[in-house]
Amino acid sequence: MYDNTIMKYVGLFIKKLLRYLLKPLSFLPAILVMYMIFSFSAQTGVSSAQLSRKVSHKVVVTMNTVLEKGWDESQIDARTEQIHYYVRKTAHVTEYFILAASVALPLYVYGVRGIWLMLYAGAFCVGFACLDEYHQSFVAGRGASKRDVMIDSIGIFAGLIVTRIVCFVGRKTIFSPLSLEKKCH
């Protein structure tokens, strides 16, 4: 009986210590994603277009191989140009989806829930998207675009919704047995 009580309190101490140490680090992914987005935005228009063209080309070559289309190089180039715009905009949605999730998760860990999570994380991410577009206006061959902020906002909204669902389900299922509140009583 006495050993079980000691082990219970040792386990509780370890959980509290880990939470104390790891909670502040939960913001690190968001900082890294913001740095990544800033780095992409700092590329010149030519460099950015070349990178997205490379990605578009790889997508088309992979489709050609997987679907066994038998396209020659000129057909691959034509299809690369056809999807290039969509690949660029998909990149916007994806990077801001990841940003929203990486901003919302630590807020959730700190107890921000429901509509407040959506408002705080959403406002922060949309604000960052606006600043990012402003930053691009100073880069050669780039410009600020309200349309890109709207496209970024689609990724932000989707990232927030998915994060809320995952956190809610995780809290009700996986992490329910680990809850400090239930162990303390």
The contacts found for 93-96 with CB under 8 angstroms, 24 or more apart, are: 93/151, 93/152, 93/154, 93/155, 93/158, 94/155, 95/33, 95/36, 95/37, 95/40, 95/152, 95/155, 96/37, 96/125, 96/129, 96/152, 96/153, 96/154, 96/155, 96/156, 96/159
Residues in the chain, how many? 185
Residue owning tokens 């902020």: 149
Token pair belonging to 145: 């675009």
The stretches in the chain having pLDDT less than 70 are 1-2, 175-185
pLDDT at residue 89, rounded to an integer:
96
- C-alpha R_g of the chain: 22
pLDDT of res. 19: 75
Q: What pTM, to 2 d.p., does this model score?
A: 0.82
Check residue 185 and give its pLDDT: 45
Tokens of 81: 């140009």
